[in-house]
Chain A
Amino acid sequence: MDWMMIFKAFIIGGIICVIGQILIDKTKLTPARILVAYVTIGAILGGLGIYKYLIDFAGCGATVPLTGFGSLLSKGTISEVQTTGFIGAFTGGIKSAAGGISAAIFFGYIASLVSKPKIKKQ
């Protein structure tokens, strides 16, 4: 187990979340807008090839936040363009992020079958 990477993932992941928290508290952006902003920024940074360095440095500290999801979409698009050309711009993104998206949809559906929402007690 690479403890140094785990520590770096903790620090970088934490910092990325703190930036989001400051945005929430200072700008009154809704959660949906924060997520959209993060995924878009991640896709742009991924496309420019900058986000790669953060992933190399912090591993899951960079891939688990939604910026990582965005960069994954761009990364997938570019590598697919390299292999299949023009059509890859349209297929590569979702292909690379398919695991997370499909899991969320499937587990969401299962959750709606087995569980009911409850009030926040506190």
Chain B
Amino acid sequence: MKPIQSKEEYQSYVDDKTPNSPILKNCFNAFWVGGLICAIGQIIFGICTSRGIDETNSYTIVSMSLVFASAFLTALNVFNKIGKFAGAGSLIPITGFANSIVSPAMEYKSEGYVMGVGAKMFTVAGPVLVYGISTSIIVGLIYILFNTQSLILI
């Protein structure tokens, strides 16, 4: 090998040396686990609507059930194994959001229930709420500004 002259050269050499993630395997696992979680959600949704619960509330019940399942599996120290296997398959559904709240809550218990559990709970999920809520407020303001039916079809 020739001596490496620059940082750019080193970076591209390192990129060659570093093995890539097994992307096909990861995508396959993400697909079926993510799909399965959504399908379970759909089954819960079906049960709710068949009992006469309206659509909006049914979707909320689906979210809460999946959040509970995720929190439960996280508390049993199982969710991280699922996450390691499924990657985005368990991260992207609302299970991943719940796990990102529950896991730091458990982790920082040793720093107390206020500044540990209470404050650190949002280390990963906080940004999700910040950006999600801020975007929705901007959407609302734009809607007020342009109150045209073409903008909102929901």
Chain B residues near A1: list those with CB within 8 A. 43, 46, 50
Q: Tell me whether A115 and B75 are in contact in the complex, defined as CB-CB below 8 angstroms, given that A6-B42, A21-B88, A100-B63 are known contacts.
A: yes
* Main SS at interface, chain A: helix
Q: Mark B56-93, 1 if CB is under 8 A from A, else 0.
A: 10011111101110011011110011001011110111
Q: Are A18 and B74 in contact (CB under 8 A)?
A: no
Q: CB within 8 Å of B: which of A77-117?
A: 77-81, 85-86, 88-90, 92-94, 96-97, 99-101, 103-105, 107-112, 114-117
Chain A residues near B45: list those with CB within 8 A. 59-60
Q: Are B117 and A14 in contact (CB under 8 A)?
A: no
Q: Are A122 and B102 in contact (CB under 8 A)?
A: no
Q: Are A118 and B77 in contact (CB under 8 A)?
A: yes
Whether B129 is near chain A, meaning CB under 8 Å from some CB there, is: yes
Residue contacts A-B, CB under 8 angstroms, 10 given: A13-B38, A49-B151, A49-B154, A50-B153, A65-B92, A68-B94, A81-B143, A89-B141, A103-B63, A112-B113
